[in-house]
Chains A and B, each alone.
Chain A
Amino acid sequence: MAVIESSTQDYLRTKKLPHIWCPGCGNGIVTAALIRAIERADYDQSDVVIVSGIGCSSRAAGYLNFNTLHTTHGRALAFATGLKMARPELKLFVIMGDGDCSAIGGNHFIHSARRNLDLNAVVVNNHIYGMTGGQHSPLTPTGKKATTAPGGTLEREFNLLDLAKGAGATFGARGTAAQPRQLEQLIARGANHKGFSVIEALSPCPIAYGRKNKLGGAVDMLRDMKDSSISVERAAGMEEADLKDKKITGVIYNYDVPEYAEVYYRSIGKD
């Protein structure tokens, strides 16, 4: 088994550990991938800002040794927009959960995509509201059970990356907690992308989601996640019918569009 070379510990506030996450939660894997991606990008530690919303995954901000801003529910991108416009030289990573980003924060999400500020949104999608004990979110697949959908949710789900693309996002990627090296690379590529990037990180919640839907333990959920994912390169040659139950991973789209802070500061003669 390969060992991931990293000085992850250097960027963790180890005194704040242990974390609040449940056994088997994917948040730790995603957080570690984020740290390694930031390491790869070779930023000054003092330039890196972690902004987060409210929810399990958003608690990551408190464990990371950068400038950290834990905001209100759904509003992380709006706080980040103000900060990035004020200080464009800072490198912002915005951690959100699926409910935080796509339900209560949906408006800020689409407008961030439209504006194309250089923000890196890492959306940890575990298909459920974990912190409040397992309610369905806009990213809960139809039919899956939740405490507020005891017979399975009747609603349709968003495809987060399609939503972002429709709103004008210039970089969209999907990875999973089951493939942490790929996830790290995707976050790093998002960081290199000049503009708004969305990285959807599929992540297991064995306690609030897995148990309710009889998906097994964390290991089972990670295995299923790996088995049902397929890289964008491989998916390119396949029929739509064969991709029906698959999650396509990798960089789904990447467009070169002027970044908003650059456009703004150039317009006022301060670039």
Chain B
Amino acid sequence: MPETKPVLMQGNEACAEGAISAGVRFYAGYPITPSTEIAERMAARLPGLGGVFIQMEDEIASMAAVIGASIGGKRTLTATSGPGFSLKQENIGYAVMAEIPCVIVNVQRMGPSTGVPTAPSQGDVMQARWGTHGDHPIIVFSPASVYETYYLTIAAVNLSQKLRQPVILLLDEVIGHMREKVFIPEDSKLMVEKASDKVPADYKPYDEKGLTPLVPFGFGHYYHVTGLFHDQYGFPTGDPLQVERAQDRIHAKLDKYRDEVVLTNYIGHKEPRVVIVTYGCTVRSARAVIKKAYWQNRQPVGLLSLQTLWPFPAKEIETLAKQADVILVPEMNMGQILGEVERHVKGEAEVIPINRYDGEMISPDQISEKMGRWLS
């Protein structure tokens, strides 16, 4: 695709630009550090594109407004951080249940509660998975650079449209506020994947047979949208058989499109003994370690960075566990993705956590020190 000259940009700005490239024309949000630049960029950009920017009265309303606009046919995005992400949870569950596409950005800061608003953290990994109540499918991306933020935002918007499923972008303060080079394509229309427009007269927005595009309100299809379990036309049901089927169907969507949903990236030795598994800004420290240990010293090490945190890249971890003796899991929390890694390693390799939760990044030294012990 045609690219222009590189632009120096902040992660938060790249997120906003990615959204615009992917056709997002509606943003509702509420100011919160360290995500505010996304709202500010959208406020500056959307009016010129004929889009809507609205600052709502709170995070709950922002999430609701985004869902409302999606039902009106807009591509939508909202951004927030920890406390605001907590407030959005109920309506995120609504979007999952009613299968309304939308993208929610959480630029993580240190929690719990007000925490350290300006300090980076990766403490919302489990909240992103299980923040809203009830069993539910969710897609969570976690970019490790400004450029990756741009592209993962586009992927998030397109995937959310295709699967009619909310997608969460879990940035961290480091990625959100860091400035890096980004290539923005000249023709941003290229980035928009169109869902099929073919709609039968007997439109079933929740067709049991598989994915159906969401026909926006106002086109003569009088279906119902609700957070209650519902039948194929959207009408409430409490019938155990229909409830179970609906629950299975919304989960199956993600399994079926796993290849598009689960994104990881491996660099390093072909037959590694020690592998680092990490995500977000911690990938950067890990990459510095690999640069020295593998590219310079040819040691048997590797790095699996997880662009997708949820659904968890289980297969990729299972494969790794068969090759490596040791898996290091650095993360800026007290150990959240760690449990998932252990679950899928199934004792086939040693899993070693490296944690930091003082509002500072994990340094390359902190990782290489642990790594060295297993290589000697």
Residues of A within 8 A of B28 (CB): 82
In chain B between 55 and 74, which residues have their CB closer than 8 angstroms to a CB of chain A? Answer: 56-58, 60-62, 64-74
Among the 9-residue stretches B146-154, B183-191, B214-222, B306-314, the one with 4 or more Cβ atoms under 8 Å from chain A is B214-222
In chain B between 67 and 122, which residues have their CB closer than 8 angstroms to a CB of chain A? Answer: 67-74, 76, 90-91, 94
Residues of A within 8 A of B68 (CB): 51, 69, 78-84, 86
Residues of B within 8 A of A61 (CB): 224, 226
Asked if A254 lies at the interface with its beta carbon under 8 angstroms from chain B, I say no
B216 & A87 in contact (Cβ 8 Å cutoff): yes
In chain A between 1 and 44, which residues have their CB closer than 8 angstroms to a CB of chain B? Answer: 13, 16
Residues of B within 8 A of A84 (CB): 68
Which of B50, B57, B218, B226 interacts with A47 by CB under 8 Å? B218
B227 & A71 in contact (Cβ 8 Å cutoff): yes
Q: How far is the CB of A260 from chain B (nearest CB, A)?
A: 9
Which of A16, A83, A264 interacts with B69 by CB under 8 Å? A83
Asked if B125 lies at the interface with its beta carbon under 8 angstroms from chain A, I say no
Chain B residue at minimal CB-CB distance from A66: B222
The contact string, 1 if C-beta is below 8 Å from chain A, for chain B 156-196, is 00000000000000000000000000000000000000000
Residues of B within 8 A of A90 (CB): 72, 217-218
A108 & B52 in contact (Cβ 8 Å cutoff): no
Q: How far is the CB of B328 from chain A (nearest CB, A)?
A: 42
B235 & A62 in contact (Cβ 8 Å cutoff): yes
Asked if A270 lies at the interface with its beta carbon under 8 angstroms from chain B, I say yes
Asked if A111 lies at the interface with its beta carbon under 8 angstroms from chain B, I say yes
Asked if A67 lies at the interface with its beta carbon under 8 angstroms from chain B, I say yes
The contact string, 1 if C-beta is below 8 Å from chain B, for chain A 132-171, is 0000000000000000000000000000000000000000
Residues of B within 8 A of A16 (CB): 235
Asked if B225 lies at the interface with its beta carbon under 8 angstroms from chain A, I say yes
Q: How far is the CA of A80 from the CA of B76 in the complex (A)?
A: 15
Chain B residue at minimal CB-CB distance from A90: B218
Q: How far is the CB of B213 from chain A (nearest CB, A)?
A: 16
Given A62-B224, A80-B68, A87-B72, A72 and B218 touching (CB < 8 A)?
A: no
Residues of B within 8 A of A49 (CB): 217-218
A87 & B218 in contact (Cβ 8 Å cutoff): yes
Asked if B206 lies at the interface with its beta carbon under 8 angstroms from chain A, I say no
A82 & B64 in contact (Cβ 8 Å cutoff): yes
Asked if A185 lies at the interface with its beta carbon under 8 angstroms from chain B, I say no
Residues of A within 8 A of B226 (CB): 61-62, 69-70
Which of A13, A62, A82, A268 interacts with B65 by CB under 8 Å? A82
A67 & B218 in contact (Cβ 8 Å cutoff): yes
Q: How far is the CA of A145 from the CA of B64 in the complex (A)?
A: 34
Q: How far is the CA of A62 from the CA of B47 in the complex (A)?
A: 35
Asked if A89 lies at the interface with its beta carbon under 8 angstroms from chain B, I say yes
Residues of B within 8 A of A108 (CB): 57, 61, 64
Given A78-B65, A85-B65, A71 and B26 touching (CB < 8 A)?
A: no
Asked if B2 lies at the interface with its beta carbon under 8 angstroms from chain A, I say no
A79 & B65 in contact (Cβ 8 Å cutoff): yes
Residues of A within 8 A of B74 (CB): 86
Which of B57, B90, B216 interacts with A72 by CB under 8 Å? B90
Given A69-B71, A78-B68, A86 and B26 touching (CB < 8 A)?
A: yes
Asked if B347 lies at the interface with its beta carbon under 8 angstroms from chain A, I say no
Residues of A within 8 A of B26 (CB): 82, 85-86
Scoring A75, A79, A89 by chain B CB atoms within 10 A of each residue's CB, the highest score goes to: A79
Asked if B364 lies at the interface with its beta carbon under 8 angstroms from chain A, I say no
Is chain B's binding surface mostly helix, strand, loop or mixed? mixed
B225 & A68 in contact (Cβ 8 Å cutoff): yes
Residues of A within 8 A of B220 (CB): 45-46
Residues of B within 8 A of A192 (CB): none
What is the count of residue pairs linking A and B with beta-carbon distances less than 8 angstroms? Answer: 127
Asked if B359 lies at the interface with its beta carbon under 8 angstroms from chain A, I say no
Residues of B within 8 A of A264 (CB): 52
Which of B50, B69, B94 interacts with A71 by CB under 8 Å? B94
In chain B between 12 and 69, which residues have their CB closer than 8 angstroms to a CB of chain A? Answer: 26, 28, 47-48, 50, 52, 54, 56-58, 60-62, 64-69
Q: How far is the CA of A86 from the CA of B74 in the complex (A)?
A: 7
Asked if B300 lies at the interface with its beta carbon under 8 angstroms from chain A, I say no
Residues of B within 8 A of A13 (CB): 222, 235
Q: How far is the CA of A66 from the CA of B50 in the complex (A)?
A: 28
Chain A residue at minimal CB-CB distance from B216: A87
B47 & A72 in contact (Cβ 8 Å cutoff): no
Asked if A228 lies at the interface with its beta carbon under 8 angstroms from chain B, I say no
Q: How far is the CB of B79 from chain A (nearest CB, A)?
A: 15
Residues of A within 8 A of B228 (CB): 70
Asked if B236 lies at the interface with its beta carbon under 8 angstroms from chain A, I say yes
Chain A residue at minimal CB-CB distance from B74: A86
Given A68-B225, A69-B225, A86-B68, A75 and B217 touching (CB < 8 A)?
A: no
A-B contact pairs, 30 of them (CB 8 A): A68-B223, A69-B224, A70-B224, A70-B226, A70-B227, A70-B228, A75-B60, A78-B57, A78-B62, A78-B64, A81-B68, A82-B64, A82-B67, A82-B70, A82-B72, A83-B68, A83-B71, A83-B217, A86-B26, A86-B69, A86-B74, A87-B217, A87-B218, A89-B218, A108-B61, A111-B56, A111-B57, A264-B52, A268-B47, A270-B50
Q: Other CB < 8 Å A-B pairs besides A75-B61, A111-B57, A267-B47, 19 of them?
A: A45-B220, A62-B224, A62-B226, A68-B224, A68-B225, A70-B236, A71-B64, A71-B227, A75-B60, A78-B64, A81-B61, A82-B72, A85-B26, A85-B54, A86-B52, A86-B68, A87-B72, A90-B218, A108-B57
